[in-house]
Amino acid sequence: MKEESWRLFKENNRHLSNILCEQYTDQHVALDRFFLSTTAYHTVFLRNKSLWLDIASDLENGLVVTPDKYFILDVPLEERIRRSKQRDPHKMCNEKIDSIYLHEYVLAEFRNLASKLKYCVMLDGTKTQEELLKIILDRVKIPEQSSYEANCRT
């Protein structure tokens, strides 16, 4: 069942990549999460470190659109717990706490992926929204031909 969900994820990624290439050729697109997020979560949940090799193959073969930038918020565990308690202090049950701890493994996988991909940018998630927006806008340069557009032509 887990392997089937991974296969379906890859098919969906290829389908979405095709849509992006066909319908947004002259536009810039911002996506929330996309394939690296699912890769990080599947790697943790399936306990399969070789999933990265599978995605790397798709990237090399042009089966998945490569983003120009992929921003990852790195929020320390203590800060995530503090924010969760602040949002709703009555919902900090054991299940919620377990989920927060599980995300430590997912964040570690994000760091691993970011170390392998030049377009990944780790952001300090303890900064304010205004500070993060400034950092992101400073990092986003819109070239005449982005790697996204080049990737769609392969």
- Residue 107, pLDDT above cutoff 70: yes
pLDDT average, residue stretch 2-31: 75
State the total domains in the chain. 1
d(CA 7, CA 25): 27
Give the per-residue pLDDT at 85. 79
Give the per-residue pLDDT at 95. 55
34: Cβ–Cβ under 8 A, 6 or more apart, which residues? 13, 16, 67, 70
Query: Residue with structure tokens 């806008």?
Result: 137
**Highest mean pLDDT (candidates 24-38, 42-56, 106-120, 139-153):** 106-120
CATH of residue 32's domain is 3.40.50
Give the per-residue pLDDT at 132. 92
Domain that holds residue 7: 2-152
Q: Which of 14, 113, 30 is nearest to 69 (CA)?
A: 30
**Residue 58, class by beta-carbon neighbours within 10 Å (0-12 exposed, 13-18 middle, 19+ buried)?**
middle
Residue pLDDT, tens place only, 60-103: 777 777 777 889 989 888 888 788 778 776 666 555 666 777 88
